[in-house]
Amino acid sequence: MLILSRKPGESIVIDGRITVKIMRLEGDMVKLGIDAPINVPVHRQEVYDEIQKNNQEALNQTVAKLPQLKAKSKPTSPKAAAAAKTPLPYANQR
C-alpha cells in the first residue's frame, strides 16, 4: 500500500486518468474530490462491498423454471381457418 501525505488543495493522480484531490479537513474527517472517467466506477468501500455481496447472492440463486406454454391448436374447419385469417374491422385505420 502506498501512503502519501497531502494538504488541502493538493491532489494525487492514478493511471493518468483519475485525480483525487484533498478538498478540506473537518475535524477527523477528510473531504475528497474524485475526478474519474464516466466508465470508471467509484464507490465508498461499504457500498462496493454491498454490491459484491448482492452480485454473489444473485449468482448463487437457483432459477425456478417457468412453466411451458401449450402450443396453439390450429383451426380444423375451413370456416374457422377463414375466420382466423380475416382481419378485424378498423384494425389498420387510424
Residue 9's closest CA among 17, 19, 1, 18?
Answer: 19
**Amino acid identity of 72?**
K
pLDDT beyond 90 at 16: yes
Using the predicted structure, report yes or no on whether residue 85 has a pLDDT greater than 70.
Answer: no
Record the cell numbers describing residue 79, joined without a space: 370456416
In the block, residue with C-alpha cell 500500500: 1
pLDDT value of position 40 = 95
Give the pLDDT of residue 93: 56
The pLDDT of 25-48, averaged and rounded, is 96
